């Protein structure tokens, strides 16, 4: 029986930087065996996901302000290239959320506070005041996402009504009225939402703010009741309830699942920023060091284990991951070198039963899949698109006797490609020692990766070749 194997090879940049004499001396053979008879894990059909954030234009890190007008509240939704970039995935899952999510109020119902945009405020979370989502903007945003064919996950404010206690800790009852009014408006207008997510990075010690697992568990029960009631008589499909959208801490996540109980939380989300800060001068070395990248595998494994033991009705998602936090790494996160990290993350997380992986961001910061001003795709956009179109749901077991620098991931294929698609990543550990001019060497890697990915785009994503004439 004939079959076609689809291959990703991220190795050309390495070869350009390794001297010929070194290549000849260090050349090794490696065998790769793919077990196609059974699956070791399964992802969602729409595994690849991207986020839209709330940051205003004056969000800055390390003397750079890389957000511009790329957020939920100020992005120009009329740009054709933006629409086409989303439509190319047929469909793309989009998660609306981020750090300012728990400071968003919705201009609907009997709102008791003024509806102002975000503004800088030293005493506010992350240096900003509360901000408001006007329903006119929500109408525009939802119409745009519908036109683009996106699958929408919307992150809700989980701090409304609470007060700060000490340190990062917040307490008090969650005021659900404004959220309930917003969901009611959404349902009444027939807006399709795939999932509602509760809160952003409030788990464990939190980032900026934290809420105890006891309070969080009780609140998601309230949110579940709201969702059930709002969609009871609606023709719309009832959305999933997603939580907590934070960094994994085993004890906190376990308690959340135990307190909320069976069939309350449908999806358990956690965030990944395993490369550290965006201004780290060692960022490129981390990306090209397979032993460093492997450290995060334990988190994927433990999240899945916690869910299996304490909430087997739920599924694990990576709700947000940009590699480097604080807007990503300038001239790193938006270049081809980042695909070594990104594609390895997609492969590694899939092996541990992760159903969805949301890249921070679709547009905004240095880690955007699209450039913030023009919406021209950055290199990782093509990596995301190729994965989405070629790598199917079924994750297959792979064995190799190659060195640690060789990573191989295999999935059942999508579409017209039979048997399996597989991804091989060869990290440039040796080449780092030979770098003389970092900027020029990165340009070489970028150019090589560009030609490799463009070749794949031409071969696999282009129009079908005409059948041979008899």
First vs last C-alpha separation in the chain = 22
Is residue 27 classed as helix, strand or coil in its secondary structure? coil
Please name the residues in contact with 432: beta carbons below 8 A apart, sequence gap of 6 or more.
285, 288
Please name the residues in contact with 387: beta carbons below 8 A apart, sequence gap of 6 or more.
8, 47, 48, 343, 346, 423
The conformational region for residue 339 under phi > 0 = left, psi -120 to 50 = alpha, else beta, is alpha
What is the β-pairing status of strands 356-359 and 48-52?
Answer: parallel
Burial of 399 (0-12, 13-18, 19+ CB in 10 A): exposed
Q: Alpha helix locations (H) across 352-407?
A: 379-390
For residues 367 and 360, give the distance between their C-alpha atoms in angstroms, rounded to a whole number: 7
Say if CB 347 and CB 339 are below 8 A apart.
no
> From the DSSP assignment, how many helices (H) and strands (E) are in the chain?
14, 19
Q: What angle do CA 170, 172, 175 make, to 5 degrees?
A: 110
Is residue 439 classed as helix, strand or coil in its secondary structure? helix
Look at residues 268, 294, 351 and name the one whose alpha carbon lies nearest to residue 41.
351
Give the chain's length: 470
Looking at the annotation, which residues are catalytic? Answer: 201, 320
């Amino acid at each position: 029986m004939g079959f076609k194997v689809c291959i990703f090879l991220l190795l050309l940049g390495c070869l350009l930087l390794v001297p010929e004499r070194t290549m000849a001396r260090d050349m090794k053979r490696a065998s790769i065996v793919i077990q196609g008879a059974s699956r070791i894990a399964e992802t969602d059909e729409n595994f690849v996901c991207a986020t839209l954030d709330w940051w205003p234009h004056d969000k800055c890190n390390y003397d750079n302000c890389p957000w511009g007008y790329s957020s939920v509240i100020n992005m120009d939704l009329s740009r054709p290239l933006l629409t086409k970039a989303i439509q190319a995935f047929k469909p793309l899952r989009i998660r609306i959320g981020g750090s300012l999510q728990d400071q968003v109020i919705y201009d609907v119902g009997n709102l008791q506070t003024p509806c102002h945009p975000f503004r800088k405020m030293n005493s506010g979370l992350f240096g900003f005041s509360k901000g408001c989502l006007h329903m006119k903007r929500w109408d525009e945003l939802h119409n745009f996402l519908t036109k683009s064919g996106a699958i929408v996950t919307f992150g809700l404010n989980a701090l409304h009504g609470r007060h700060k206690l000490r340190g990062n800790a917040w307490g008090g009852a969650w005021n659900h009225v404004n959220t309930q009014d917003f969901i009611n408006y959404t349902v009444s207008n027939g807006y399709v939402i795939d999932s509602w997510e509760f809160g952003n990075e409030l788990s464990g010690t939190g980032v900026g703010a934290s809420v105890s697992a006891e309070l969080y568990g009780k609140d998601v029960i309230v949110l579940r009741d709201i969702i059930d009631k709002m969609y009871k008589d609606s023709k719309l499909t009832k959305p999933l309830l997603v939580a907590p959208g934070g960094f994994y801490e085993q004890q906190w996540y376990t308690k959340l699942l135990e307190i909320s109980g069976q069939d309350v939380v449908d999806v358990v989300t956690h965030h990944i920023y395993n490369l550290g800060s965006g201004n780290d001068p060692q960022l490129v070395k981390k990306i090209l060091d397979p032993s460093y990248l492997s450290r995060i595998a334990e988190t994927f494994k433990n999240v899945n284990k916690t869910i299996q033991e304490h909430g087997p009705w739920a599924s694990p998602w990576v709700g947000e991951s940009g590699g480097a936090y604080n807007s990503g790494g300038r001239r790193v996160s938006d270049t081809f070198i980042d695909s070594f990290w990104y594609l390895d993350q997609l492969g590694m997380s899939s092996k541990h039963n992760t159903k969805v992986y949301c890249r921070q961001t679709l547009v905004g910061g240095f880690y955007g899949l699209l450039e913030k001003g023009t919406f021209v795709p950055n290199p990782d956009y093509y990596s995301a698109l190729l994965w989405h179109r070629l790598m199917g749901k079924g994750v297959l077991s792979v064995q190799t006797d190659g060195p640690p620098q060789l990573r191989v991931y295999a999935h059942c294929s999508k579409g017209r490609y039979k048997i399996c698609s597989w991804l091989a990543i060869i990290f440039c550990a040796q080449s780092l020692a030979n770098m003389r001019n970092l900027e020029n060497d990165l340009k070489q890697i970028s150019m090589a990766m560009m030609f490799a990915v463009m070749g794949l785009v031409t071969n696999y994503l282009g129009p079908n070749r005409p059948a041979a004439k008899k």
